[in-house]
Amino acid sequence: MTPARSVVKPWLTFLISAVFSAAARAGDIPVTIYADAGYPPYSYEKNGKPAGLYYEIVRAAFTRMKGYRIEVQTVPWKRGMALLKSGTALALYPPYMNTTDEPWTWPYSLPLYDEKVVAVCRKDVLAAGPRKRWPQDFYGLTIGNNAGFIVGGVAFEQAVRAGRLRVEEARDSETNIIKLGLRRIDCYINDRRSIQWTLKQLKAGGRYDEGGSHAELAEATEIATEQGFLGFTDRDNGRFGYKTDFVKQFDNAIYQMKRNGEIEAIARNFFKTH
């Protein structure tokens, strides 16, 4: 009888564990996190699914969190911000911290990754004069920007309101870079890696040719260092009763991932393979 008991016990333990695990999963709170669908390589949609560096980071963080079944859905950036503003979405990534223009976004998670915002222009625009001081050296130009992005800084926004330069928005990085080549805008502002990655993809797909002088692009100046966050709504009026715990668990996960070097490893591997 002893051998029989020694065989049965592990199976009983396995079955009991499986039952409790299934029950725990069934009791987990379903949560939808929204992600920018048009900001490669950081956050975008690929084959109908979320992709990008930030997706890799938040997905790893979610595996460390208890009590939630988390789904990531991609949306156009302006729609995602509208969902936060209306309080119908819990969180969206990756906003920069901007409590002045986006007061409905609070709190912000610990920062996920550092980005370098730059201005890229056609070479013929740069040949007309130095374009190093931002935004003074860009007065009179038309600047491309992703719809809903606030990346140019306070002086830039003031110059736009004063009519010293013009902003033309497009839905994503691809559209803006193509508009550069078509001479519909003079420069484009966004993260350096995002611009480089998107231009590379466009060239590889035969959708952008820098052969003509009017289409050659070059970085004009670095505007700022920004950080991407998971931003939460401050307009939910108690809709998400678990928000405080969710924020705490997510921040704890990001903190541990930064401390043990996992985020840098994820980034290094991501940019190596993309």
Among the residue ranges 2-11, 41-50, 137-146, the one predicted with the least confidence is 2-11
Supply the pLDDT for residue 4.
42
Supply the pLDDT for residue 209.
83
254 and 198 assigned to the same domain: no
**Residue 3 pLDDT grade (very low, low, confident, very high; cuts 50, 70, 90):** very low
pLDDT of residue 272 exceeding 60, the answer is yes
105 and 157 assigned to the same domain: no
78 and 139 assigned to the same domain: no
Supply the pLDDT for residue 26.
57
218 and 246 assigned to the same domain: no
Output the domain CATH number for residue 173.
3.40.190.10
Supply the pLDDT for residue 25.
56
Q: What is the mean pLDDT of the chain?
A: 91
> What contacts 95, CB < 8 A, 6 or more positions away?
81, 102, 105, 108, 228, 229, 231
Supply the pLDDT for residue 83.
98
| 211 or 82, which is more confident | 82
- pLDDT, one tens digit per residue, over 188-239 is 999 999 999 999 999 999 989 876 656 899 999 999 999 999 999 999 999 9
Domain membership of residue 19 (yes or no) is: no
CB 32 within 8 A of CB 62: no
pLDDT of residue 16 exceeding 70, the answer is no
Supply the pLDDT for residue 2.
41
The encoded tokens of residue 2 equal 């002893």
Domain membership of residue 121 (yes or no) is: yes
Domain membership of residue 141 (yes or no) is: yes
User: What's the whole-number mean pLDDT along residues 148-171?
Assistant: 96
Domain span at 42: 28-112+229-273
Count of domains in the chain? 2
The β-bridge relationship of strands 142-146 and 166-170 is parallel
40 and 80 assigned to the same domain: yes
pLDDT of residue 65 exceeding 50, the answer is yes
User: What's the whole-number mean pLDDT along residues 13-39?
Assistant: 71
69 and 131 assigned to the same domain: no
181 and 129 assigned to the same domain: yes
Supply the pLDDT for residue 5.
40
Cα four-point dihedral sign 264, 268, 270, 274: positive
- pLDDT, one tens digit per residue, over 102-141 is 999 999 999 999 999 999 999 999 999 889 999 999 999 9
99 and 131 assigned to the same domain: no
Supply the pLDDT for residue 18.
47
Supply the pLDDT for residue 104.
98
